[in-house]
Amino acid sequence: MWKELFKTTLPIKVLSDSSSGLAITARQGVGSVRHLDIKQLFTQGCASSGRVVYGKVSGKENVADIGTKVLASKEIKKIEKLLNYQPIDK
């Protein structure tokens, strides 16, 4: 819809706390990585074409971590705030 209205596209921004993942995305080809999959080569192509912009996010501020590892109550509250989470009152 954006492209139809403004005749341009916007890049997708992907944030990650994985330095090695970002390094693999930034290079071209397999290099010395042993188990690189087609998915990683696809992300390299998206990065080089500019369709997707990859960036670094601190592990402390990565909202995707809320469901992937054990977090202290304080960390969960911080992520809820970043997500603008509002509990539904009954």
pLDDT tens sequence across 56-80 = 988 778 888 777 778 888 888 888 8
As a whole number, the mean pLDDT across the chain is 82
Length in residues, the chain: 90
Can you tell me the distance from the alpha carbon of 30 to that of 15, in angstroms, rounded to the nearest whole number? 22
Percentage of residues in the chain having pLDDT higher than 90: 4
pTM over 0.85: no
The highest-confidence range among 3-7, 11-15, 36-40, by mean pLDDT, is 11-15
60 secondary structure, DSSP code: G
Cβ proximity of 44 and 25 under 8 Å: yes
Cα 42 from chain centroid? 15
CB 50 within 8 A of CB 11: yes
Closest CA relative to residue 17, chosen from 47, 46, 45, 55: 55
* Residue ranges covered by each domain of the chain: 2-57, 60-90
